[in-house]
Amino acid sequence: MSNPNQDLIESFDPVLNEQLTDRVIKAREGESMEKLAAAGEDYIRTHIRESGFFRKILPPKPISNDELDRVVEHDRPVRIEELETNHKGAVSLPFNVSSDTEFFYGPKGVIEFHTIKTPVFTKNVNELRTYRHDIKKVVTEHILNDIETREDANLIDLCNLIVGTANTADGKSGQVQHFQAAATGLGSEIDGGMSKEVYVEMKKKLENFRLNNGVFLMNTKTAKEFEKYDSLALGDALTSKMYKEGLKGMGDAVVGGVPHVYTIKDDLVADNVIYCFTEPNYLGRFYVLEDIRLFVERKDDQLKMYASEIIGAGILNVAGVVKINLSRA
């Protein structure tokens, strides 16, 4: 049986860097995820891995050096974003009267950049001689998932900071952005699990800030609550389909007109927690200064592999995210 890691063991080619990087980027674009998944046939997997959800909430945009901004304090690149200003509304006036003067100023926010890097995976090539599965496939898949999971964790940390304490007006918008049913459940419009009634209340939260619902994020266990909806809620056809197929029976994961993203990462998105995000252009920016790159290096019999990317992101409109906790406090 030929060893799938032969190129790493004996005839390491520097071009491999580019080939592997290309493979990762294609995997991110979805082109070869099936191929990566197929790599599992060579070995027994221990748990499910998943690509990132942040990129589905705030789609990344490449940014060139020309689009970066400078600041006088340091050499690091930043991007200064302009936000929409606001002002007093129009007024009704009698004839021969002018309206008031109003000075206006455009708010500006900063996006700062940082690197996300995987560990440096190190292996003695001689130890690879006995491997029967393609280590490149495994590493390629893992680094992609690890990097995107880091992005997701950064997003959730940021969201939790922005929304503040449950049912307290300490969200960064100055208003309540984190809603949770009271311990007794009384007086709370979001008590009662993910019922139809509660769901409609959730959809109103961002509208209080005059924002549209963009994406709702929840874990797959929370999403399975949809499977409890009966035929009165969903109709016979969809109920039957979901009974057979589960969440896949819903089709495109759009509920009440709002696209949903389900994640298996319950360490980031806890059970019964839903993050409601507004539409990307009302939320913030996600820039990719340097897309993911894989570095493979062999020196003597030591093989080292790691990957990195340089990104900058931010939720500049802090009213654009709301957290719902369906569990009672």
Instruction: Indicate which single residue of 7, 50, 81, 189 sits in contact with another protein (rule: CB under 8 A).
Output: 81
Residues facing 218 on adjacent strands: 262
Q: Segment near another protein (CB under 8 A), from 95-103, 180-188, 189-197, 273-281?
A: 95-103
Looking up tokens 């929370």, which residue turns up? 222
Is 74 one of the binding residues for another protein (CB under 8 A)? Answer: no
Is 68 one of the binding residues for another protein (CB under 8 A)? Answer: no
Tell me which residue of 257, 275, 267 sits closest to 54, measured CA to CA: 275
Token pair for residue 309?
A: 């990317």
Is 46 one of the binding residues for another protein (CB under 8 A)? Answer: no
Instruction: Indicate which single residue of 140, 250, 314, 326 sits in contact with another protein (rule: CB under 8 A).
Output: 314
Is 85 one of the binding residues for another protein (CB under 8 A)? Answer: yes
Is 108 one of the binding residues for another protein (CB under 8 A)? Answer: yes
Cα–Cα dist 83/108, whole Å:
6
Q: Based on CB atoms, which residue is closest to another protein, 20 or 312?
A: 312
Is 215 one of the binding residues for another protein (CB under 8 A)? Answer: no
Burial of 324 (0-12, 13-18, 19+ CB in 10 A): buried
Q: How many residues bind another protein (CB under 8 A)?
A: 35
Q: How far is CA 296 from the centre of its chain?
A: 27
- Tell me which amino acid residue 56 is: K
Tell me which residue of 210, 244, 239 sits closest to 226, measured CA to CA: 239
Q: What are phi and psi of 50, to 5 degrees?
A: -145, 145
Asked if 143 and 149 count as a contact pair (C-beta separation under 8 A), the reply is no
Is 172 one of the binding residues for another protein (CB under 8 A)? Answer: yes
Cα–Cα dist 5/296, whole Å:
13
Instruction: Indicate which single residue of 1, 72, 73, 88 sits in contact with another protein (rule: CB under 8 A).
Output: 88
The minimum distance between CB 50 and another protein, in angstroms, equals 20
Q: Segment near another protein (CB under 8 A), from 98-106, 140-148, 225-233, 260-268?
A: 98-106
| Footprint of another protein (CB under 8 A) | 81, 83, 85-88, 100-103, 105, 107-112, 154-155, 157-158, 161-162, 172, 174, 208-210, 284, 312-316, 318
